[in-house]
Amino acid sequence: MKTLIRFLISLFLAVAVCSTATARDASALTGEARLLESELSLAKKPIIYFIFDLGGKEVLLKSRGVTLREMKIEDMRFWGRPVEVVPRPMVKKSALFKEPKRISIDPNKNKEEETTETPPPANTPSTAFDIEALELKDMPANYYLQFSEGIFITVRPKATTTGSKLYNIASYAGWYISRPLLTIWHSIKGRPFTSIYLVLNAEDARSVYWSLVENSENIIHQQ
């Protein structure tokens, strides 16, 4: 009798484990299908877009379905409700410190100046090249990204010195402590709230800031 009971218990546990695994696999397949469907809608357009693959711990810069750059997520924290895998606009980005300003160039004005000024020597780099070369390194590595439906991403650079390590510890502690308060605040306002904390290589962090354009569509893949 005891042997029969043990057998039935073992059988029940085995069935439960298999059912859980099957449900998990089915959920993963559904998530991948939604990712492919969402990316296909962006790949049809002549744009560049980002996929924040939180499960794979990487940020992908893509265009027409082709990966232009892969950036590793060094560390990640997640707070809030699950994120639906759909193309969503990045509505705002803000630097933690001084916001960089792009230099706007008026092509008509430049054309007029070219007719009146002596052209620069052949070995002198063009103004456009100098601007492009300087802009990436001047981009911030500490910033916030706001997406539709109350999704916020905090980006911090990977610590490389003792000072930066202490700063990142303080930054993460502040982020973690403030999440419950922000959740309550958004709940009172009747707004959804999801917060993601990402640590990237400093150069990768600057590249994401530089390449992301407000109101551009991107994908956040949580699974």
CA angle 178, 181, 187 (to 5 degrees): 135
Task: Strands of 64-170 (E only): list them.
Answer: 66-80, 88-95, 143-147, 151-157
Q: Using one digit for the tens of pLDDT, what is the confidence trace for 162-212? A: 998 898 899 989 999 999 999 999 999 999 999 999 999 999 999 999 999
Q: Are 138 and 132 in contact (CB under 8 A)?
A: no
CATH architecture of 2-103+131-221: Beta Barrel (2.40)
Q: Using one digit for the tens of pLDDT, what is the confidence trace for 69-119? A: 999 999 999 999 999 999 999 999 998 776 666 555 555 655 555 555 555
Domain boundaries of the chain, sorted by first residue = 2-103+131-221
